[in-house]
């Protein structure tokens, strides 16, 4: 398993792209800049699941806006891998993997825009709050992994940390 904040670098030489994850079963991508109707690169033996914003960024042609998530996985893993939730604002996507135990593995691949972005909370709710709700829900029957770019800054002197 690997994670890559590709910052829109999906337009690579396909050979070099494939070589970057040849020994991986699952690769998670954040900030892919995928636009509506835009296909991800075809990779023999692999499948894509993606989450992207419903409209492209104005002034950038067909390039999508900022943070969206994608997972690329070996085709033979399809029966074990399910997308269980996509954020309506395309800031994260939850993947459920069936493990060899009696519990699932839930993985959230995230790209949270900086708090100053118009995409940070377009529907009025913080992505951190939504993610927290999902963690409580999914942790009842599985283990949780969070991946991606959270753009979470802690350099403010007013930051308070709680030891739970």
Q: State yes or no: pLDDT of 32 exceeds 60.
A: yes
Q: State yes or no: pLDDT of 155 exceeds 80.
A: no
* pTM, 2 dp: 0.74
| Average pLDDT along the chain | 76
The first and second tokens of residue 150, run together, are: 């959270």
Is 124 inside a domain boundary?
A: yes
Is 162 inside a domain boundary?
A: no
Is 22 inside a domain boundary?
A: yes
Q: State yes or no: pLDDT of 108 exceeds 60.
A: yes
- The domain that holds 130 is classified in CATH as 3.60.10.10
Query: Bridge-partner residues for 97, per DSSP?
Result: 81, 105
Count of structural domains, the chain: 1
- Long-range pairs for 80-83: beta carbons < 8 A, 24 or more residues apart: 81/26, 81/49, 83/49
Question: What does the alpha-carbon distance between residue 99 and residue 80 come to, in Å, rounded to a whole number?
Answer: 8
Range of the domain at 7: 2-149
Listing DSSP states for the chain in one string gives -EEEE-TTTT-S-HHHHHHTTTT-SEEEEE---PPTTPPPPP-TTEEEEEE--SSPPTTSTTPPPS--EEEEEEGGGGGGEEEEEE-TTSSEEEEEEE-SSSSEEEEEEEEPPPTTSTTSSTTSS-HHHHHHHHHHHHTTTEEEEEEEE-------TT------
Output Rg (C-alpha) for the chain, integer angstroms.
Answer: 16
The first and second tokens of residue 118, run together, are: 């118009």
pLDDT at 104: 94
Q: State yes or no: pLDDT of 56 exceeds 70.
A: no
Query: For 69-81, what is the mean pLDDT?
Result: 87
Is 155 inside a domain boundary?
A: no
Q: Are 70 and 108 in contact (CB under 8 A)?
A: no
């Amino acid at each position: 398993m690997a994670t890559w904040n590709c910052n829109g670098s999906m337009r690579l030489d396909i050979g070099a792209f494939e070589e970057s994850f040849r020994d991986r079963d699952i690769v998670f991508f954040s900030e892919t800049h995928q636009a509506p109707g835009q296909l991800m690169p075809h990779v023999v033996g692999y499948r894509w699941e993606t989450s992207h914003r419903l409209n492209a960024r104005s002034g950038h042609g067909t390039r999508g806006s900022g943070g969206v998530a994608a997972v690329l996985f070996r085709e033979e893993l399809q029966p074990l891998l399910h997308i269980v939730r996509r954020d309506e604002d395309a800031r994260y996507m939850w993947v459920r993997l069936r493990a060899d135990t009696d519990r699932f593995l839930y993985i959230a691949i995230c790209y949270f825009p900086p708090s100053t972005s118009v995409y940070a909370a377009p529907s009025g709710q913080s992505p951190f709050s939504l993610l927290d709700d999902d963690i409580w829900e999914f942790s009842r029957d599985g283990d949780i992994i969070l991946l991606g770019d959270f753009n979470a800054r802690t350099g403010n002197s007013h930051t308070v940390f709680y030891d739970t």
